[in-house]
Amino acid sequence: MTTGREEFSYDDRISRDFVVATLFWAVVTFLVGMVIATQLFSWRFNFNIPWLTFGRLRPVHTNAAIFAFSANAVFAGVYYSSQRLLKARMASDILSRIHFWGWQLLIVLGALSLVLGFTQGKEYAELEWPFDIAIALLWVVFAINFFATIAKRREKHIYVSIWFYIATILTVALLHIFNSFALPVSFLKSYSVFAGVQDAIVQWWYGHNAVAFVLTTPFLGMMYYFLPKAAEKPIYSYRFSIVHFWSLVFIYIWAGPHHLLYTAVPEWAQTLGMIFSIMLLAPSWGGMINGLLTLNGAWDRVKSDPVLKFLVASILFYGLATFEGPLLSIKTVNLLGHYTDWPIGHVHSGGLGWNGLLTFGMIYWMVPKLWKTKLYSIKLANVHFWMAVVGISLYAIALWIAGVQQGSQALAMDTVTHRLKFPDFMATITAILPYYQMRALGGLLYLVGAVIGVYNLYRSMHGAVQDEKTSAAPLSGKVTGKGHRFFEAVPLAFTLLTLLAVGVASFISIAPTFLASDRAIVDARIKPYTPLEHYGRDIYLREGCYNCHSQMIRPVVAETLRYGAPSLPQESMYDHPHQWGSKRTGPDLARVGGKYPDLWHFRHMADPRSIVAASVMPAYPWLETAKMELGDLSNKLQVMKHLGVPYNDDEVRTAAELAAAQAKQIAANLQVQAAGQGSFVGMEDKEIIALIAYLQRLGKDGVKP
Amino acid sequence: MNIVFILLPFALLLGLGFLGIFIWMVGAGQFDDLETPAYRLLFEETSEETKKKGNASDDNGT
């Protein structure tokens, strides 16, 4: 029986647009990555220009990797596959266009704001509040369009890819909104509502789930669509793909605390994060095997078809990354690997291996379809493939070695004297500089491969660009009466189901942090920052010092010998947001206060090499000439007070005067310490003074008697 | 402590709702057939292909 088929066409222009955007941002993201990789072994590439220092460019790179490269790739894949799986054109072409152009504008302005130093100072979530709101709005536009398309679908069964997309859309919205809770001071300045331990948990709950729901679930959805398509074989086990989906949705959300092992986060939360992280291995590897077995009987084609090559390699890297993740979540391994470059290697096995190769494979497959042409050159595609695979392998291997080496050197103890084997921090960095270079070489190969790929694809993009026409019977034509409504409700049910699964887990895992805040450990020794210190802290955020420096001493002997007493949870209770950091390219700063005289910092910030010859830290000479703007300091403190930091009204009102008085004192200290060498007249209103005030305060309250 | 009194009932409610909808979903038949969807994916056709085949196809007709 042939029910009336409806003729319709797919909106392929939106997929084409996102494909082009993905390729463009891929090159930009990789380029910025190359710059910061180079800066780590050659400080001169910081160029002594504020906008180009490591601390500002690294957030540009990480945000570009997430929001520009990966997100555009996801949108390209989702718009292409969803329309075909749902047998329906996107509900609204206008919403699709708004989504596309809004997103690209957001990326450009966002990158600009980060370079200029507007940042929330939260790792992987640096963009200031107006951008957060823009992201949320555009995401809603995308969600409405997507769910409306599901509602008008002509295929009753919802293929597993769509579920992965649904989970992505809902969870990202939830995470993003939660993590972005901030109180604005001005148009481009705000403070995280959360502080210290709470902030760290919310932050890594977000950070980890950004990996899960931006870099994993949508890409799995795309894998389950494009792999069978390219292999021209059904997925090995569709049943398993559904198990894969539900188990990921349930387990992933609990794994966040594995970023906070050995920190001031409650022990049980750490253990929870560890157990769930290890559990993730099972569904992840099941998914990998499911993907690989799909190619049974088609392996000969993998040799000749670049698309399949990319997809297979990408799935193997998915396996590698999802093995490494649980491994790094085991406490003992984490002790060694955390704060080193190993996690950086891990995230690139995921980002460049899994996401990158899958994206390119998918695009090599889509472009001939979307432009109705043939690929310009299979040979070039193969060159791209091998450069990419060799590049990312070099990258990962280099940082495994670097990470293990740095971790073991940092923790190494002399068994006889019970002292640190490598008390000089820089020893742990100079030893891995060759691996930093090897990593940069790997990145360069990957970048050149990508440029070749973009050229190849660009040359292929000449053809008829018409929307693909098709036909299908409407659902309503087949299902009558009560059943009709019933089937329409199914996508809604899935939606709710996913939301609930994620929501329950999230709330239960975050709740304890609020409870902890209700029971805030009363420690009278811990006082809020003075107005000047607070101002200095804002400079610390602006320059992105947390991209190299941690502020969290773990309770192990080697750390306490190197840095001092372990960090206490209450020590960061006024830190909106926390600055625990996640990587030590420089030493931990949690107890740097009082370690050196003011003058030491003054000279060190202006030119680190004048004090530590081998230092790779950027120089910050502009802090000596930039004037403090104390005008809205009262507003800032007011916001902090509002967030529960115990400033009194007098302090808030006279913040600027208090700051100026303390600055004068520090400038006078400098003059004394310099003992006649150099004059510090006129220095008392410069930014460097505030930064020194902040650094000299760090970790002092917690070790008071 | 106030936050517990919001969170706990909320979490419980969510959990119960989740269970209900899951049962409902199974009843709705989304999980009944876990074989054909994998194959159906491979048979997307454009209008031209349908016409070439003389419009003989039927979509998993009921």
What pLDDT, in 10s, does the model give residues A416-463? 998 999 999 999 999 999 999 999 999 999 999 999 999 999 999 987
Point out the least confidently predicted range of A181-195, A399-413, A627-641, B12-26: B12-26
Q: Please report whether residue A528 resides in a domain.
A: no
- Which of A12-16, A265-269, A662-666 has the lowest average pLDDT? A265-269
Give B-chain residues touching A490 at CB under 8 angstroms. 25, 28, 30
Nearest residue in chain B measured CA to CA from A486: B28
Contact state of B11 with A468 under an 8 Å Cβ cutoff? no
Q: What is the pLDDT of residue A508?
A: 63
Burial grade of A646 (CB within 10 A; 0-12, 13-18, 19 or more): exposed
Same domain, A419 and A555: no
| Per-residue pLDDT at A13 | 93
Give residue for tokens 């070489």. A441
pLDDT confidence of residue A518? 47
| pLDDT at A180 exceeding the cut of 80 | no
**How many domains does chain B contain in total?**
1
Which residues in B lie closer than 8 A to residue A8 (C-beta atoms)? none
Please check the confidence at residue A62 and state whether its pLDDT lies above 50. Answer: yes
Number of domains in chain A: 2
pLDDT at A644: 84
Using CB atoms, pick whichever of B11, B25, B37 lies closest to residue A497.
Answer: B25
Same domain, yes or no, for A507 and A542? no
Query: Hey, are the CB atoms on A494 and B42 less than 8 Å from each other?
Result: no
pLDDT at B62: 36
Contact yes or no for B14 and A504 at CB 8 A: yes
Subunit contact A493:B25, Cβ cutoff 8 A: yes
Q: Do the chains contact at A470 and B34, CB–CB below 8 Å?
A: no
pLDDT tens digits, B4-58: 454 455 555 655 655 665 677 677 777 777 788 888 888 876 655 555 554 444 4
Q: Is A393 within a domain?
A: yes
**Residue at a domain's end among A477, A511, A545:** A511
Across the interface, whether the CB atoms of A494 and B25 are under 8 A apart is answered yes
Q: Is residue A491 in some structural domain?
A: yes
Q: Establish if A88 belongs to a structural domain.
A: yes
DSSP state of A593: T
**Set of chain B residues whose Cβ sits within 8 Å of the Cβ of A239:** 34
- Whichever domain contains A339, its CATH number is 1.20.210.10
A42 and A133 housed in the same domain: yes
Question: Could you tell me if A162 and A274 lie in one domain?
Answer: yes
Q: Do A493 and B37 touch (CB under 8 A)?
A: no
Shortest distance, CA B53 to any CA of chain A (angstroms) = 13
Tell me whether residue A516 is in a domain: no
**What one-letter code names the amino acid at B50?**
T
Test B62 with A233 for CB contact under 8 angstroms.
Answer: no
Residue A531 lies in a domain: no
Domain harbouring A563, CATH code: 1.10.760.10
Q: Give the structural domain span for A553.
A: 537-697
Chain B residue whose CA is closest to A471: B47
Assess whether A622 and A670 both reside in one domain: yes
Which chain A residues contact residue B55 at CB under 8 A? 2
Residue B12's pLDDT is what? 57
Closest by Cβ to B37, choosing from A159, A473, A490: A159
* % pLDDT > 90, chain A: 63
**A522 located within any domain:** no
Q: Does B15 touch chain A (CB under 8 A)?
A: yes
Q: Tell me what the mean pLDDT of segment A525-547 comes to.
A: 95
Interface touch B37/A242, C-beta < 8 Å: no
- For A303-352, the DSSP string reads HH-HHHHHHHHHHHHHHHHHHHHHHHHSHHHHHHHTBSSHHHHHHHIIII
A153 dihedral zone (left: phi>0; alpha: psi -120 to 50; beta)? beta
Residue A490: its H or E element: helix A481-518
Q: Is the Cα dihedral A187, A193, A194, A200 positive or negative?
A: negative
From CA B11, how far away is CA B17, in angstroms rounded? Answer: 10
**B32 lies within 8 A of chain A by CB:** no
Q: Per the domain annotation, does A310 fall within a domain?
A: yes
Q: Looking at A88-97, A314-323, A327-336, A653-662, which range is the least confident one?
A: A327-336
Average pLDDT, chain A: 89
Q: Best interface-test mutation with A: which of B5, B59, B60, B62 has the largest number of A CBs within 10 A?
A: B59
Among the listed residues B16, B52, B29, B12, the one whose alpha carbon sits nearest the alpha carbon of residue A507: B12
Chain CA centroid to CA A376, Å: 34
Q: Are residues A176 and A323 in the same domain?
A: yes
Rg of chain A on CA atoms, in Å: 27
Enclosing domain of residue B10: 2-59
Q: Do A490 and B28 touch (CB under 8 A)?
A: yes
Residues A547 and A472 in one domain: no
- The distance from CA A120 to its chain's CA centroid, rounded to whole angstroms, is 14
* B38 with A472: Cβ contact below 8 A: no
Residue in A494, A501, A508 nearest the CB of B11: A508
Q: Quick one: A542 and A502 in the same domain? A: no
Among A470, A496, A511, which residue terminates a domain?
A: A511
Q: Strands A182-186, A189-192: parallel, antiparallel or unpaired by DSSP?
A: antiparallel
> Do residues A547 and A602 both lie within one domain?
yes
Dihedral angle at the C-alpha atoms of A89, A95, A97, A103, nearest 10 degrees?
-120
* Helix/strand/coil for A627: strand
